[in-house]
Every structure is written in C-alpha cells, then in structure tokens.
Amino acid sequence: MRPVHLRMARAALGWTLKELADRAGVHMNTISRYEAGFEIMSGTMEKLEEVLRHEGVVFIDEDDEFLPGIRMRKEVRPMAFHAPDPNPFAAKRRLSKTKPKGAKKPKR
C-alpha cells in the first residue's frame, strides 16, 4: 500500500485521520506522516491495510498504463472490531510504586 492508496481509501470511506487511527490502533500522526510520504513500520502498515481491506478496499498497483488507485467491494466482510485502549499507560501508572509529582506522604 502506497501513501496515495491510503489517502484514496480514507476519502472513499469518508474517514478522518482519527477514525482510521482508532480502528487500526495506531496514532494519527503516524498515518499523517505516511500520507505525506514518510516511512512507517511494517507492522503499522499491516494494521492499516487489514482494517481497510476488511472495509472493502481493494488496492490497485501502478502499471505502464494506469496510475495507482483503489476500488471498493460491493459487500464487506464483517470484522470483529476491538477498540484500542484509549490510555494504554493508565495501567502502568496504577501499578507504579512512585508517587505522582506533588503528592504528600500520608500522615501517621
């Protein structure tokens, strides 16, 4: 999947960066950087492709005659959607033994 494919797919689905980021479990800045032509990790690319393919997006590569593009399937396969944890660091904070800044010691 090339950056142009990602922009086309988001436009076809009517999704914002945030909507795609939430569905794929990646950060909006990562998607924005990729659409601007910067490299992203292969695992992140796979997450994005998986979500888009399950929404019916078909990626068409560039050839001698045509530019890259996308097509949309008429029927979409259902996908189990697991929303990512909105704050993945919350559990770490709860388990942390250090006190937050400004925390007072309990009186004995």
- Fill in the DSSP letter of residue 4: H
Whole-number pLDDT of residue 83: 54
Whole-number pLDDT of residue 103: 60
Whole-number pLDDT of residue 79: 55
pTM (2 d.p.): 0.65
Domain positions in the chain: 3-71
Residue 22's φ and ψ, nearest 5 degrees, are -65, -45
Scanning the structure block, which residue is given the tokens 């909105």? 86
Q: Which is higher by pLDDT, 107 or 72?
A: 72
Q: Which is higher by pLDDT, 99 or 19?
A: 19
pLDDT category of residue 73 using cuts at 50, 70 and 90 = confident
Strands (E) in the chain, as ranges, are 57-60, 69-72
What would be the CATH architecture of the domain defined by 3-71?
Orthogonal Bundle (1.10)
